[in-house]
Each structure stands twice: as C-alpha cells, then as structure tokens.
C-alpha cells in the first residue's frame, strides 16, 4: 500500500516537472503564433468571398502584405486587365508561402504580382532568408503552374525603414539577380518613383506611419506596373481575350 502511494506521488512529481519545463515553450508559442493562427481568419474570408464572387478565371493575382492589401483602387487602376487581390494583413514571406496552396495555386493565375518582405525586414529577419522564401515560392509556382509569369515588386525603401535600407537593398539585389537568371520570373522596381530628383523620399506619398501609402503613391505604382502587365498579358492571353 505504502509502495503504491510512493509510486503515485513520484508519478505526479514527474508530471509537474514536465509541465514546468514545457511552460516557457507554451508561452513562447502563445506570444508568437504561427501563420496558421495569425491570418487564418483572413484566409477563410477570402475563400468565402470566392464562393460568392469567384475571381477572374486564369487572371492576374496580386498577393503579399499590406502594401498591396491597401491598394483599394487596384481593379480600377488596372482595368480592363483581370486583376484580383489576395494580399493579407501584415504578412511575412513565410506566411505567403504557407498559404499559397489555398490562395495562390488553386486560382491558376496566368500572372502573379508579388509584394512581400517589408515586414520581414521590420522583424529583423535575415535578407538571405527573405530571398530564400521568395525563391521557394517561385519554384513552387514553376512546378505547379509552368506557364504562369511571376513578377516581384521591390521592397520599398520607406522612410520608416531608413536605418534598414541596406537590408532592403540587399534583398532587392538578390531577387533581381535571381530574376535575371530565371525564366518567367521578373523584377519590377517601384523605388525610383518614391524619391525626388535629389534622392529624398517623397513624403507626400506616405501616411503618417512613414511606411504605408497615400492614394497618390498607388497612381505612381500604376504608372510603373501597368505597362509591364499589359505587355505580359498580351503575350499570355488566349486569342479573343483582351
């Protein structure tokens, strides 16, 4: 009887020690939820919207983080190109990669326009990792959709990131080099239109956070991005379509 009681007490002691050792891990997970937790609601909202209003078949998909998510005039700015927007939250490259099986590949877009990495920079993630995750995204697109064209839009050298412009430039340079050597992947640099003739950021384009944009900035984006998409769409579209 006494031996059984000692075994029970010993068992409870081992369990308590195990839980105590695991507690920091649980706390860390709660403080840093994975992509499936952080943006699950956003993704479900996209899928519900798809069921009611399906996106253009084999159209032009914009995907990435809030710089694209806040482009409210995208459809109007690109009309009549068949664009649709699946950018979400303050996403990072790992999250766009995580969700591409749900909000990228199933649409089978002819063209993908990608903007992500800005939040990775703010989180002090290494440029090599940011580039590596985009390369993985591009490789997965190439395997699943070999005819699809992918455009990477440069990470913005926003005033809010001035002390990290070196990292921004490093990521952009690595991606540009990769695009130059990879079929059906191209680089679009929007940074030149965000600076004045003296090399200073055009502050009138930014919101008060010095990161996100006023509507005028998206008109500048349109001037740069739209001609590229029009040319690519003419090459890829079926005969009879715009």
CATH number of domain containing 131: 3.40.50.1110
One domain, residues 129 and 172: yes
pLDDT at residue number 25: 30
Domain count, the chain: 2
Average pLDDT over residues 90-112: 97
**Does 227 have pLDDT greater than 80?**
yes
Other Cβ atoms less than 10 A from the Cβ of 49: the count is: 13
* Domain housing 4: 1-32
One domain, residues 71 and 103: yes
Within-domain flag for 241:
no
pLDDT at residue number 237: 72
**Does 57 have pLDDT greater than 50?**
yes
Within-domain flag for 242:
no
Residue 186: strand pairing partners: 151
pLDDT at residue number 239: 61
Other Cβ atoms less than 10 A from the Cβ of 55: the count is: 19
One domain, residues 52 and 66: yes
**Does 99 have pLDDT greater than 60?**
yes
**Does 24 have pLDDT greater than 60?**
no
Coil vs helix vs strand at 214: coil
Through-space distance between the first and last CA atoms of the chain, rounded to whole angstroms: 85
What percent of the chain has a predicted confidence (pLDDT) above 90? 81
Respond yes or no on whether the N-terminal peptide bond of residue 80 is cis (omega within 30° of 0): yes
One domain, residues 20 and 85: no
Residue 201: strand pairing partners: 195
One domain, residues 183 and 99: yes
Average pLDDT over residues 219-241: 89
Within-domain flag for 68:
yes
């Amino acid at each position: 009887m006494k031996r059984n009681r000692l075994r029970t007490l010993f068992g409870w002691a081992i369990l308590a020690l195990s839980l105590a050792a695991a507690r920091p891990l649980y706390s860390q997970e709660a403080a840093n939820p994975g992509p499936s937790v952080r943006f699950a609601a956003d993704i479900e909202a996209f899928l519900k919207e798809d069921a009611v209003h399906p996106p253009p078949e084999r159209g032009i998909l914009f995907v990435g983080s809030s710089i694209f998510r806040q482009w409210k005039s995208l459809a109007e700015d690109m009309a009549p190109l068949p664009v649709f927007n699946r950018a979400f939250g303050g996403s990072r490259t790992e999250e766009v990669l995580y969700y591409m099986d749900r909000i990228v590949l199933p649409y089978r877009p002819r063209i993908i326009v990608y903007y992500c990495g800005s939040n990775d920079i703010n989180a002090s993630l290494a440029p090599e990792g940011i580039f590596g995750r985009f390369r993985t995204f591009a490789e997965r697109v190439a395997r699943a959709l070999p005819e699809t064209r992918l455009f990477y839009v440069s990470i913005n050298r926003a005033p809010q990131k001035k002390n990290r412009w070196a990292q921004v430039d490093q990521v952009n340079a690595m991606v540009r080099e990769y695009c130059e050597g990879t079929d059906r992947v191209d680089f679009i640099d929007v940074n030149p239109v965000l600076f004045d003739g003296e090399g200073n950021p055009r502050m009138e384009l930014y919101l008060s956070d010095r990161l996100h944009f006023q509507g005028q900035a998206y008109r500048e984006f349109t001037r740069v991005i739209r001609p590229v998409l029009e040319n690519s769409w003419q090459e890829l579209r079926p005969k009879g379509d715009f």
